[in-house]
Structure 1
Amino acid sequence: MKKEKVVFDNGNVRIYEYKSCVIVEKYNEFEVSGELQKIICETIVKNFGLNNPSIVYKKSSYSMSMEAQLYLLEFMKKYKGKIAYVSLTDSSALISNMASKTYMKDKVVGVFDNLDIAVKNVLQ
């Protein structure tokens, strides 16, 4: 397996390419700020564009500020790819949370407990 190309890592969030997908991995429990969400969106666009990648969000917990959600909303209006969520915690809460976000409609592929299964689903 080839080593993934990490394009961003601030000690809490890592963005890298894995099997032709963009993985946004939040590996510590904390709330994503508006500034960090802006950086995440800009990093994805700069390194991968808006049309080609499928994005997999891998999180230990889901928590972001209102400002971060607004940045994500703007990004989702422009983003054309598929998205999956990998949750290592309670998936049912995450599914209802994601489904209630109007900007995620037609974007969310699903919530998975395994990175490889999520990647396989967004690449189909």
Structure 2
Amino acid sequence: MKKTWVLAGSLLLAGCSLDPDAAQKYVTEEKLKAVIEVSGDRIQVETFPDADVAVFFWQDGEQSKPLAVIEEAEGVFTADQLMSEDGIYFVKADIQTDGQHIMPTKKVVIGDVVEAEVDKPAANVESHH
């Protein structure tokens, strides 16, 4: 009886061979990436075209607020935010496509800020969204 099971198993396994081109048959999705740039009072997020992009902004120790975002070019989104006070600010981009979601955050230092404050991790950065 054991020989029958071993023979049947061997025949089944022999029928299943790997196609050497199997990897080529699958479409690989490009990893979602983004670059956040801050210049003056303009925030720019470069990512994939057709992505859903939301931008959040806050000063260290305050609550985040959503900003109005405009897609100026394919995959280039901008928002304007006045940063008139010296301090540490954060910009978070919430980016989604059909199968991917990323939330990169950028720390922005404006004016004269004590060096120890710049290197200090922000409180509750992960809780802002």
Q: Which has the higher helix share?
A: 1
TM-score by length of 2: 0.26
TM-score by length of 1: 0.27
Q: Which has the higher strand share?
A: 2
Larger Rg: 2
